[in-house]
């Protein structure tokens, strides 16, 4: 199965953390077929002085979705991630700086809506730091819910930003 993951880091030696995360993913989840360039972006959803380095990878695996999630969360913890996003009193996410963040973007054309995992990633169409590197390695990838390619989604996103 083809799986697309987004990786981001804004603490410590960001490039080294991304490299170590990719090495662990290749060892524990599956073979990395493609890796985007590194994109540097400002934090999304909160203000912070540390910019992020972001990449998207395409890998091949036989593992089921929840196993991919469990292993990627273990990789995050092993690289210094303290906890996932906390929720404020209004149910909104509180974002914070982190050594590493690994998000599952797509697993083939699967649509998963479980308590701890939503695939395709719920916010990917709203995030340039995901769309740009994803478009670099998979512009013709079809979003199974929006029924548009990543290139189309990125183009529409850029039009709205103008």
pLDDT in tens, 43-63: 765 555 688 999 999 999 999
Q: Which residues contact 106 (CB under 8 A, 6 or more apart)?
A: 2, 3, 4, 119, 120, 121, 141, 143
pTM for the model: 0.89
CB 107 within 8 A of CB 124: no
Residue-level pLDDT at 47? 58
Domain count, the chain: 1
> CA-CA distance, 45 to 149, in Å (whole number)?
25
Residues spanned by the domain of 89: 2-161
CATH number of 157's domain? 3.30.70.560
Q: Which residues contact 26 (CB under 8 A, 6 or more apart)?
A: 32, 59
Instruction: Dig out the tokens for 124 from the structure.
Output: 């990917």
Dump pLDDT digits (tens) for 96-121.
Answer: 677 899 999 999 999 999 988 999 99
């Amino acid at each position: 199965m083809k799986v697309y993951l987004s990786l981001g880091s804004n603490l410590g030696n960001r490039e080294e953390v991304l490299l170590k995360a990719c090495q662990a993913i290749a060892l524990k989840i599956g073979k990395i077929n493609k890796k985007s360039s590194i994109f540097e972006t400002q934090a999304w959803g909160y203000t912070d002085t540390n910019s992020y380095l972001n990449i998207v990878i395409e890998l091949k695996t036989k593992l089921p979705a929840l196993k991919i999630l469990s292993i990627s969360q273990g990789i995050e913890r092993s690289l210094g991630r303290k906890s996932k996003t906390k929720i404020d009193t209004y149910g909104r996410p509180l974002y914070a700086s982190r050594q590493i963040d690994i998000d599952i973007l797509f697993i083939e054309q699967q649509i998963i809506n479980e308590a701890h995992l939503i695939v395709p990633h719920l916010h990917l169409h709203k995030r340039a730091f995901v769309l740009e590197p994803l478009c670099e390695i998979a512009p013709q990838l079809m979003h199974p819910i929006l029924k548009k390619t990543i290139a189309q989604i990125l183009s529409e996103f850029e039009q709205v930003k103008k």
